Structure 1
Amino acid sequence: MYCRKCGAEMNNNEKFCPNCGEKNILLEKTLVSENEKGEDIYLTSHKISGRLILKISLAFMTILFFCPMLLVSCGEMEIGRFSLLDLAAGIDYMGETEEMVPAAIMFLLLPLFGFIYLFLKSKKDSHGMVSAVVGGISGLSLVGLVITLISRCKSNSDMVSVKVLIPFYMYMILTICMIKIGISLDVCIKKQKAVTRGMEINETQLRNKTIQRVAGCIFIGMCILIRICS
C-alpha cells in the first residue's frame, strides 16, 4: 500500500508511514473493527450486541423481582411461595403481616437504574463497568438475603425450611452474564481507545485491572448497602 499523504510505499501492518509519519488509517479501522467484535456474541449466523444482552438481562432481572423465588414450608406443609416483592412489602402469615426485609426493594431499583443508565447515557465508556457492578451487587446481595432468611427460619423453628426456586437460579445466571459481558465490554472500549491513539496495550493486564476495578466497586457498594440496611 501507499501513504495517502506522501505516496511512499509502506507495509500494511505499519501504524505510521516510515517517510512522513502519517498514521495508517486503514490499519486503525481494521483493528477497531476487530476489537468491536469482542462486544458481540454470535448465535449461528446472527450477531447479538453485548449492550443488547445487558439491556435484556436487566429487563429480565426487573421482571424476576415479581416472580416467586423462595418456597417456605413447615415440615410437610407448604407455607407459601414468596417473591422479592413479598419480602419488601411483608409476608402475610397466619393472619399477620410479618415485615421481612424492606431493603429487598433494592433488587428492583438496581436493575431499573442500570437499564435506564444504558439507554440514557450518551457516552458508552462506562456501560460495561456499571453493568458489571450492578450485576455483582445484585447477585451477592441475593445470596446474602437467602442465607439470612434460612438462618432466621432455623432460629425460629427447626421445622421451618426455605428452598430456592427456578427464578432464583435465573436471576443468578443473569447477574453472572452481566459481570462477564460488562467486563468484556469495558476491555473492548479501552482497547479501541488505545488503537485510535496508536498505543500498545496488553489485553491480559487490561482485563485484570478491569476485574480489580469491578471487584473494588462491588465491595464498596456492598459495604454501603450493608450500612444502609443495618
Structure 2
Amino acid sequence: MGDLKQYGLVRAQERLRDQVGHALRAALIAGELRPGQVYSAPGLAADLGVSATPVREAMLDLAREGLVEPVRNKGFRITEVSERDLDQYTELRTLIEVPTVGRIAETADREQLEALRPIAEEIVARAWQHDLIGYLEADRRFHLALLALSGNERLVETVGDLRKRSRLYGLTGLDEAGKLVSSAEEHVELLDLMIAGDVPGTEACMRRHLGHVRSLWADARDEPAGRKSAG
C-alpha cells in the first residue's frame, strides 16, 4: 500500500507542476513576465499561492523549451528572442510547413481534414472571446494535428519545438486592437483550400499566414511597455 500511496503523491505533484507551467506560460504570453528579467521561484510561488518546489520544476520544464534560463543563486531569467531569431524561425517553418501542407492537400482524405474544422473554428472563437491562452493552445493543436497527416512524426516534433521557441509576448494590446481575428480566420481559409484540393492556393495561404504571424511578433515587440503588461 505504501508504494501505491507514493505513486498517488507523485501523480498529484506532476499535475501541480503542469498547472504551474501553464500559468507561467500564460504570464509570458500576457507580458507579465518580461524578457531579460530574473524571477525567483519563491517569489513566483508566492504570487501563485503554491510552494516553491512545483515552480522550480515547472521552470526547469520551461528551460528545456528555451523559454527561460537558470541564473545561479537567483532564479530564472526570461530569455529574449532577437529579430534575427524570429526571422530564422519563420524561415524554417516556411521551408517545412508550406510544401508539407501542399502534399497533405493532395493526399489527405476529406474526412481527415474536416475533422480539423472544429479546432479551426475554435481558434476564431477564442480570438473573438479575447482568450489569448485558449487561442494559442487551439492554434498549436490545429497546426500540429494538420502536419501529423503527413505521417512524419519527427517533422511534427520539429515544428512543435520551433513554435515553443518563437512564442509570442504581450499579445494583449494586439488583441484589443482586433489584430488576432484576421490571423485566426486564416485557419478556416487554409482548411477550405485543402479540402478543395487547391494545392497552389493552400501553399500560398500557409506562406501568407506564417508571414502574418511574423508581423504580429514584430507588432508585439513594438508595443509600449505599458501596453505589454496590460490585461
Q: Is the shorter-chain TM-score for this pair beyond 0.5, marking a shared fold?
A: no
Structure showing greater relative contact order (alpha-carbon pairs closer than 8 Å, 6 or more residues apart): 2
Structure with the larger strand share = 1
**TM-score, normalization: structure 2?**
0.27
Q: Which has the larger radius of gyration?
A: 1
Structure with the larger helix share = 2
